C-alpha cells in the first residue's frame, strides 16, 4: 500500500505548474464516443480517473492511444459495446457520462448506476429524467440503467437544481438529436464551457455554454479535431491554500485565474498577499483572519475547495463557518483533522472552525479526493511527521502532487508499506 510521509513546517517558494483539469478531461473523453473521427486531446492530466476512463472507452470499442505525456488520441469505429460495467462505474461516478454519448451514437446503453460514494448518495435522477425527455426508453435492472432510443429528439429540459454531470450528459446527447434542445438552469462551470468548445470543434452547434441556458441544434454526425483541456481550477486552488499556509512567494503558473476567482477572493480576504494575473498567481503567507464560506454551484465558492479552505481556517485567529450546500456528506475530512488537533464542530451542513490551532502530526487516512488534499495540507503545517494512507484517493485527481510540492521546498515522499 502506498503512503505519503510529510515533514511539516517547511516554507514553500518557487513555481508550481498547474495541469489540465480532471473534471474537464473526463467528459471530453466521454464525448469521443460521439464520433468516428480522430480526436486529439492535449493537456490531459496524468491521473487515475483519466486512466480509468480510457479503459472504459477501449471496452466500448474506441481505439485509444497516448503518444506523449498529456496527449490522448481516440478513434471510434462505431462503439461496438454499449455497456459500462459496475466494476468500473463503482470506482468512478464520472463513468456515467458515457450514457448520453452511447444513446446518441448507438441508440442503446447499459450503464451501471454509480451507487453512492464517500461524499453522499449522489443520485442520477436528473440525468435519467433528461434522457427520457430526449426520447430514450429507460429501464432499471440489477443496478443498471438500460436505455434505448431510435434517434433522440431535441427537447426543452429544465433542471430543478444545476447538475454538472447532468448538463454534460445532456449536452453530449443533444448534439446528435433530431432538432434543437434547450437546457435551462444548466450548470455554468468552466468545464461545461470546455466540453462545449470541444463538441463545437467536432462539428456540434451549441450556444450559451457557461450561462444557465444552453441551446444545442442537433446534427447528423460529428467529425474529428484537436482540443486542449483547460487548467485545473481545483488543483490551482489547492496550491493557493498551500501558499496561504506556508508560501514565501509561491507562484502558480498555467492557470486561468478567472476560473477560481471566488477562491482567490476568499483566500485574499484572510489577509494573505496574492498577486494575480490572468494565468499566474503569487501568494505570500500572513497572519490569517477567519473568513466564512458557503459552497455553491459556479461561479460560487466550489464544493471541491471546501475541505482545503476548512484546513486553512484552522490556522486563522478566530472562528469561521463553513457551509456545504452541494453535497450532504462532505465533512469526511473532519474526523481525521480532529486527530491532528483541529478544533472543528459540525452542525448539520455547517462546520465551525476555531483557530489558530497548532496541528500535530499523525497517521491519517484519506476518504475521498478533496479530503485527502486537505490532509496533505495539514501534514505540511503539522509539527513532526504525518503519514497519509489510501493514496489512491489522491491519485485520482492530483498529478505528481508530492513531486510538485517537493520542488518548492516541502519534505514529502511516497513510500510502500
Ligand atoms: C461534478 O460532480 C464533479 N465531478 C465533482 O467533483 C463536483 O464536486 C461536482 O460536479 C459539483 O461541482 C466531475 O466533474 C467528474 P452534480 P457531479 O451533478 O456532476 C445532486 C471532485 O472532487 N444530483 O453537479 O456528480 C448531487 O447528489 C468531484 O473532483 C442529484 O440529486 O455533481 C449533488 O448533491 C467530486 N441528481 C448535487 O446534485 C442528479 O441526477 C451536485 O451534483 C445529479 C446530481
Question: Which residue in the block uniquely carries the three cell numbers 442537433?
Answer: 218
> How far apart are the C-alpha atoms of 50 and 280, rounded to whole Å?
25
Specify whether the CB–CB gap between 313 and 355 falls below 8 A. Answer: yes
Q: What is the mean pLDDT of each run of 10 residues along the chain (417 residues)?
A: 94 98 98 97 97 94 97 85 82 93 94 77 89 96 93 97 97 98 98 98 98 98 98 98 97 98 98 98 98 98 98 98 94 95 97 97 92 96 95 94 97 93
Parallel, antiparallel or unpaired: strands 205-207 and 213-217: antiparallel
Q: What is the β-pairing status of strands 273-276 and 281-284?
A: antiparallel
Dihedral sign (CA 341, 310, 402, 275): negative
Pocket test for ligand 1, best of 164, 299, 301, 367 (most atoms within 8 A of CB): 164
Assign 324 to helix, strand or coil: coil
What is the predicted pLDDT for the residue at 116? 64
108: left (phi over 0), alpha (psi -120 to 50) or beta: beta
Contact of 386 with 361, CB cutoff 8 Å: yes
Residue whose CA is closest, atom 19 of ligand 1?
165
> Which residues 6+ apart lie within 8 Å of 69 measured at CB?
46
3-state class (DSSP) for residue 366: coil
Beta bridge partners of 183: 157, 214
Please give the number of the atom of ligand 1 that sits closest to the Cα of 124. 40
Probe ligand 1: pick from 26, 56, 122, max atoms within 8 Å of CB?
122
Residues with CB under 6 A from ligand 1: 23, 26, 93-94, 120, 122-127, 161, 163-166, 187, 303-304, 326-327, 369-370, 397
User: Ligand 1: distance of its center to the CA of 43 in Å?
Assistant: 23
The pLDDT, as a whole number, for residue 118 is 67
CA neighbor of 164 nearest in space, from 229, 94, 220, 110: 94
Q: Does residue 324 contact residue 336 with C-beta atoms inside 8 Å? A: no
Q: What's the 146 CA to ligand 1 centre distance in angstroms? A: 22
pTM of the model: 0.97
Q: Distance, CA 325 to ligand 1 centroid (Å)?
A: 12
| Element counts in the chain: helices (H) and strands (E) | 14, 24
What are the pLDDT digits (tens) for 376-386? 999 999 999 99
Residue 307: C-alpha distances to residues 238, 330, 344 (Å): 10, 8, 12
Instruction: For helices 164-174 and 125-133, give the axis angle rounded to 10 degrees.
Output: 20
Q: Would you state the cell numbers that stand for residue 221, as one nine-digit string?
A: 454526425
Query: Could you tell me which of 217, 85, 248 has the C-alpha nearest to residue 153?
Result: 217
Distances (CA, A) of 318 to 57, 290, 310: 49, 6, 13
So what's the pLDDT on residue 79? 59
C-alpha distances (whole Å) from 193 to each of 288, 324, 364 are 34, 24, 37
Ligand 1 centroid to residue 163 C-alpha, Å: 6
- Give dist(CA 316, CA 320) in Å, integer: 8
Residue 90 pLDDT: 80
Given ligand 1 and candidates 304, 309, 374, 397, which is best to mutate, with the most ligand atoms within 8 Å of its CB?
304
Whole-number pLDDT of residue 56: 94
Number of the ligand 1 atom closest to the C-alpha atom of 327: 34
Residue nearest to atom 32 of ligand 1 (CA): 164
Contacts of 270 (CB under 8 A, 6+ apart): 244, 286, 288, 289, 290, 291, 312, 316
Find out whether 75 and 63 touch, Cβ atoms under 8 Å: yes
Catalytic residues: 117
C-alpha R_g of the chain: 21
Angle between helices 99-106 and 164-174 (to 10 degrees): 10
Contact, 2 vs 416, CB < 8 A? yes
Domains belonging to the chain, first-starting first, are 2-18+231-416 (3.65.10.10), 22-228 (3.65.10.10)
CA of 169 to the centre of ligand 1 (A): 12
Amino acid at each position: 500500500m502506498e503512503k505519503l510521509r510529510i515533514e511539516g513546517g517547511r516554507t514553500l517558494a518557487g513555481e508550481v505548474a498547474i495541469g489540465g483539469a480532471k473534471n474537464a478531461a473526463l467528459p471530453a473523453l466521454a464525448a469521443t464516443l460521439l464520433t468516428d473521427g480522430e480526436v486529439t486531446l492535449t493537456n490531459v492530466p496524468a491521473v487515475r480517473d483519466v486512466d480509468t476512463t480510457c479503459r472504459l472507452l477501449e471496452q466500448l470499442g474506441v481505439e485509444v492511444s497516448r503518444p506523449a505525456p498529456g496527449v490522448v488520441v481516440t478513434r471510434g469505429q462505431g462503439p461496438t459495446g454499449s455497456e459500462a460495467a459496475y466494476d468500473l462505474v463503482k470506482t468512478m461516478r464520472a463513468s456515467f457520462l458515457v450514457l448520453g454519448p452511447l444513446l446518441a451514437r448507438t441508440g442503446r446503453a447499459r450503464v451501471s448506476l454509480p451507487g453512492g460514494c464517500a461524499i453522499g448518495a449522489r443520485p442520477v435522477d436528473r440525468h435519467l429524467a433528461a434522457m427520457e425527455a430526449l426520447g430514450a426508453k429507460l429501464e432499471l435492472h440489477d443496478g443498471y440503467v438500460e436505455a434505448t432510443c431510435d434517434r433522440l429528439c431535441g427537447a426543452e429540459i429544465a433542471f430543478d437544481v444545476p447538475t454538472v454531470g447532468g448538463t454534460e450528459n445532456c449536452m453530449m446527447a443533444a448534439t446528435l438529436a433530431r432538432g434543437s434542445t434547450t437546457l435551462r438552469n444548466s450548470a455554468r462551470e468552466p468545464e461545461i464551457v470546455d466540453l462545449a468548445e470541444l463538441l463545437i470543434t467536432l462539428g456540434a452547434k451549441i450556444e450559451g455554454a457557461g450561462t444557465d441556458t444552453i441551446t444545442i441544434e442537433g446534427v447528423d454526425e460529428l467529425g474529428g479535431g484537436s482540443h486542449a483541456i483547460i487548467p485545473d481550477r481545483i488543483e490551482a486552488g489547492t496550491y493557493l491554500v498551500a501558499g496561504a499556509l506556508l508560501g514565501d512567494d509561491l507562484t502558480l503558473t498555467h492557470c486561468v485565474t478567472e476560473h477560481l476567482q471566488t477562491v482567490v477572493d476568499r483566500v485574499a480576504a484572510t489577509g494573505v498577499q496574492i498577486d494575480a494575473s490572468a494565468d499566474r498567481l503569487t501568494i505570500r503567507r500572513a497572519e490569517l483572519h477567519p473568513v466564512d464560506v458557503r459552497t455553491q454551484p459556479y461561479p460560487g465558492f466550489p464544493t471541491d475547495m471546501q475541505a482545503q479552505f476548512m484546513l486553512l481556517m484552522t490556522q486563522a485567529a478566530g472562528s469561521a463557518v463553513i457551509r456545504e450546500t452541494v453535497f450532504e456528506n462532505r465533512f469526511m475530512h473532519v474526523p481525521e483533522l480532529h486527530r491532528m488537533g483541529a478544533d472543528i464542530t459540525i452542525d448539520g451542513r455547517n462546520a465551525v472552525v476555531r483557530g489558530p490551532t497548532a496541528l500535530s502530526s499523525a497517521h491519517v487516512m484519506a476518504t475521498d479526493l478533496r479530503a485527502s488534499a486537505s490532509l496533505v495540507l495539514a501534514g505540511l503545517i503539522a509539527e513532526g511527521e504525518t503519514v497519509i494512507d489510501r493514496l489512491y484517493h489522491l491519485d485520482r485527481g492530483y498529478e505528481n502532487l508530492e513531486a510538485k510540492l517537493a520542488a518548492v521546498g516541502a519534505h514529502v515522499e511516497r513510500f510502500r508499506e
